[in-house]
A and B are shown apart, each in its own frame.
Chain A
Amino acid sequence: MHEIEKHLITEEPYYSPVGEEIAIFEASYRNGLPVLLKGPTGCGKSRFMEYMAWRLQRPLITVSCHDDLSTSDLVGRFLIRGGETVWIDGPLALAVKVGAICYLDEVVEARKDTLVVIHPLADDRRLLPIEKLGQILEAPPEFALAVSYNPGYQSLLKDLKQSTRQRFVALEFNYPEAMHEAEIVVRESGVDLPLAQQLVSFAGMTRNLKGSGLDEGASTRLLVHAAKLIQSGIAPTVASQCAIAQALTDDPEMMPAIFELADSVF
């Protein structure tokens, strides 16, 4: 069982709450309700999960979903080792057995037929059937299921089925307010506040462009990246170009426009 130890988070992760998400998550946890984290990329969803796992003192098992993810990848499979067949638990089964928090990142990326396995786990039955073993695992109260999803990518194929999404308590995440975001950037990178504010105001400009040429504006994550580069001696405009502008688009007209916004801010 020491395998699971490595999923325990021992040091308090830095997470600065934006609203009441901590209280809501705790209440859901105590009531055995699964949670859906909605929000754009890089706005602190993963960090929040780390923080909650630490706070609740449960191991955190994260699965990044992709379209080749099969039910066996989640639940487990037989392997042959030295002439014997052995059963290996998948991350979901493992989390249920040890009462961990299982976090399925970007669930929409997973195929719909794969996601069906979480249905009995995500309603009041809290059961995980393992077909190949003919077993049904019952989740202990310590177990929690959380999934994340970014509603911004308006891909029509990639929408959660109603029967999936209606099982979750939804928490909406967004970029923090300007001053708050600047503080996060300071804390994460060590740059000084005025510079962090300039970065945030630049991020605001790229967010204004969302929908008129950009699919997404700069995330808090990108700001932290740029700030770290600056802290290591790269000029702010250059850091904004490589860490932010280039990450946002390849469009030959959009790129210089964003460069110029960066040039204007610093």
Chain B
Amino acid sequence: MTLHRLSAPEIAEQLDLCFEVEFTFIDNTLIAQRIAQLEPEVQQQLLHTARRVAASHIQVAAQLCTNAITTIFAVSGGDHTAQQAQLLDSWADQVMDLYDRFGLAKSMQMVNDFDHFQRYQRQETVGVSLKEVEVRLLHFLNGLSGRKMKLAPAEGEHWSDSETIYLPSASLLLPQRELNRWLYSAIVVYHWAEARFSTFQPPLFARMMDASDHLLHLFESVNGLRLERLIQRYLPGQWRRMEQLRQAEGGGELSSDWTQVVRLLEEGDLSLQTALKVTEAWSRQLQPLPRPCYQGRLALSRVAATREKRIGEERAQFRVSFMDYRRQQSPPPAMAPERETGDEEEESDLQWSSEQAIATLPLQLRPTAESIIQDFGEIPPEYLTAAGPADYLLLQQKAREEDPGEVWGGTYHEEGAFLYDEWDHRRESYRKGWCAVRELEVEGVEDPFVEEALQRYQLEIRHLRKTFETFRNENRILKRQSSGDDLDLEALVEAQVDLRQGRELSDQLFIRTSRYERNIAVAFVVDMSGSTRGWINDAEREALLLMCEALQTLGDRYAIYGFSGVSRKRCDIYVIKRFEEGYGEAIRQRISGIRPQDYTRMGFAIRHINQILNQTGAKSRLMITLTDGKPDDYSDYHGEYGIEDTRKALLEARHLGIHAYCITIDEEAKSYLPRLYGPAAFTQIDDPRQLPYKITDIYRRLTSR
């Protein structure tokens, strides 16, 4: 089918709609005229992109279209169309990504600077983007020893605050893809080494905090050489790659002065002290070396701030746990803080020696101890004194900060939350780490609800127990086995007959029971949005109670989670019963305590439960959601967006081999339901009072063989 070329008014009409001109007053006439001159395929492409980007921000979309015409589509050329289309697509992707992460200003910058984008574009050929490698890099970093560090995107150059390594969103300095990939790892290793090999210890701050730029930069060079030697010692393979990177950059040999510096460093056992001493002694003769691509600037003041906060917290934590440990353990363990001066027999070995000090500590104290040694080179003596009230206070305060209930109080951060992607159907891509999900506990409530419900459904419960009984761990009896737990009488009689008639006696005379074990894990996922208030909430709670009672007989593993949320920054999963918890009074009270909360954002809940179900390792994994209908969150999860994201999450479940089943309690049959639940099976219940009966029935059908 050939497309026909759209006229300027036709285009203007579409753009008007897309850019909501009634409200935005954007004038599309000029753009439309220009687009009208383009090839039909290009026209379609542009309009499609306009719609995609407009879903994020209308102004950005309008500007992008205008700029695309003067840059990408400036030369209209038959052969180039496909290339141009691709270019536009990735430009749009970049712009939207920036918009998500840094907001309007940054994304507009990208829209208005095509050259800047083209530099980004090198990524397609030789560059490597952080997105491609970040999971792998994080695993890699986690594998390295010492304090656990994190990764985050940097706005410009890479740097580290001694806890987080900030990385550029793309690596494209070097002429080959492979090298650019190595560069990412080298950056990570370099910053890890910086923290691991005690750069950030007290003498550094004492001597460098107020130093001149020249001195600081000189120290960076000296310290860089020191770290490279240490990396050579502990990660020789990595060091060889770093050498190759330096060569690819055109890095040269060291001058004789610098070779001398390296010798001094090695003589001083590559310690920070030596590096500082050498820097100061040589500050007149030497100029800083050009920084190799993997070496970052020292962000001294930011490191100092992070460090100060960490030191306080870790001191308190260490003191408190060490006290606990001592109380349990008398006599106290021989603590051997490192670094007695003088015993210089073999070249003292940083890693082994601090490891030995740590090895004398109980397991739970070791990570903190490692981190403290990285900060001080030892466990300072005052850490071994009794914890005071201030320590407990500080820990309490920290715990409060981390309390998921307090997200909105104080400074908001995403720490401690699970981050899940969300599907944006207009953009046809995932928004990365979009939803901050936290698990909260449901408070148990002691009220007559449970008793009344159990009373009311007494008969059903008894009946359910019976029906469920029949298909719990069915035992299949295998007859005529050559070994088994009992004799197979029938076979025995036949054998006797055979024997009398002179035939050979069969040895297959036993019965063996083979147990069929139901290896099922089921998660019930309950809508706790505000709209369930009243009838539906009651029905949900009763249904859950009934289900639990019935499942007691069956012995399947099950968990119950609720969900609700306000916007993507606060997606709450309410824990009602975890898989490992047994059913009992506490769980009954929590079921009773299920209260309607806020809005219905559904995708994150399904994704979170997917993860949980997957960890059970059960052969059959089942997710049964109970909702009152449409996914809906305030502002950004309305209508199609929510439906499409939920649908996508259900698809993900299916890919993971999870059977999803949705039960909707709603009076009217909604037209979108088949689309929404397409990837899953679903049923609709119009009377909430039916739910308890329906759910048990459905469960029986779903899990019988």
Q: Which residues of A pack against B, CB within 8 Å?
A: 67-68, 70, 72, 77-83, 111, 155-157, 177-179, 201, 204-206, 208-209, 212-213, 237, 253-254, 256-258, 260-266
Bound form: Cα–Cα A155–B579 in Å: 10
CA distance A80 to B237 in the complex (A): 64
CA distance A80 to B142 in the complex (A): 59
Residue B143 CB within 8 A of the other chain = yes
CB distance from B315 to the nearest CB of A (A): 24
8 Å CB contact of A156 from B140, B144, B557: B557
Question: A213 touching B142 by the CB < 8 A rule?
Answer: yes
Given the complex, which residues of A lie within 8 Å of B487, measured CB to CB? 78
Lowest 6 CB-CB distances: which A-B pairs, in order? A257-B139, A264-B238, A205-B143, A264-B235, A253-B135, A257-B140
Q: Residue of A at shortest CB range from B142?
A: A212
Find out whether the CB atom of B485 lies under 8 angstroms from the CB atom of A72.
yes
B-chain residues with CB within 8 Å of residue A81 when the two chains form the complex: 507
Binary flags per residue of B477-488, CB closer than 8 Å to A gives 1, else 0: 000001111010
CA distance in complex: A264, B189 (Å): 10
In whole angstroms, how far apart are the Cα atoms of A266 and B232 in the complex? 10
**With A253-B136, A264-B235 known to touch, is A208 a contact of B509 (CB < 8 Å)?**
no
- With a cutoff of 8 Å between Cβ atoms, the chain A residues found around residue B484 in the complex are 72, 77
Q: Are A80 and B144 in contact (CB under 8 A)?
A: no
A205: B residues at CB distance < 8 A: 143-145
A72→B241 CA distance, assembly (Å): 60
Q: Give A178 to B487 CA distance when docked, in angstroms.
A: 56
Q: Is B517 an interface residue (CB 8 A)?
A: yes
**B517 near A261 (CB under 8 angstroms)?**
no
Whether the pair B136, A261 counts as a contact (CB closer than 8 A) is no
> Which residue of B has the minimal Cβ distance to A159?
B580
A80 and B509: CB pair below 8 A? yes
**Chain A neighbourhood of B140, CB < 8 A:** 257, 260-261
Per a CB cutoff under 8 Å, which of B234, B241, B617 touches A155? B617
* Interfacial residues, chain B to chain A (CB-CB below 8 A): 135-137, 139-140, 142-145, 185, 189, 234-238, 241, 352, 355, 359, 482-485, 487, 499, 505, 507, 509, 514-515, 517, 557, 579-580, 616-617
User: In whole angstroms, what is the CA distance A266 to B239 when docked?
Assistant: 10
Chain B residues contacting A68 (CB-CB under 8 Å) are: 514
With contacts A80-B505, A155-B617 known, is A261 near B143, CB below 8 A?
A: yes
Using known A-B contacts A156-B579, A208-B144, A209-B142, determine if residue A260 contacts B185 with beta carbons closer than 8 Å: yes
Q: Is the CB of A80 within 8 A of B143?
A: no
CB-based nearest A residue for B236:
A266
Most A-side CB within 10 Å, residue of B136, B352, B579:
B136
Q: Are A258 and B143 in contact (CB under 8 A)?
A: yes
Q: Which A residues touch B237, using CB under 8 A?
A: 237, 262-266
Residues of chain B with a CB closer than 8 A to A177's CB? 359
Also in contact, A209 and B507, with CB within 8 A (given A178-B355, A237-B237, A263-B238): no
Contacts of B557 in A (CB 8 A): 156-157
Question: Which of B143, B352, B580 counts the most A-chain CB atoms under 10 A from its CB?
Answer: B143
B238 & A201 in contact (Cβ 8 Å cutoff): no
Are A206 and B135 closer than 8 Å at their CB atoms?
Answer: no
Enumerate 27 A-B pairs (CB-CB under 8 Å) in ascending A order: A67-B517, A68-B514, A72-B483, A72-B484, A72-B485, A79-B482, A79-B507, A80-B507, A83-B499, A155-B617, A156-B579, A156-B580, A201-B234, A209-B143, A212-B142, A213-B139, A213-B142, A253-B139, A257-B136, A260-B136, A260-B140, A260-B185, A261-B140, A262-B237, A263-B241, A266-B236, A266-B237
Contact, CB under 8 Å: B352 / A179? yes
- Pick the most buried of B135, B137, B234: most chain A CB atoms within 10 A of its CB: B135
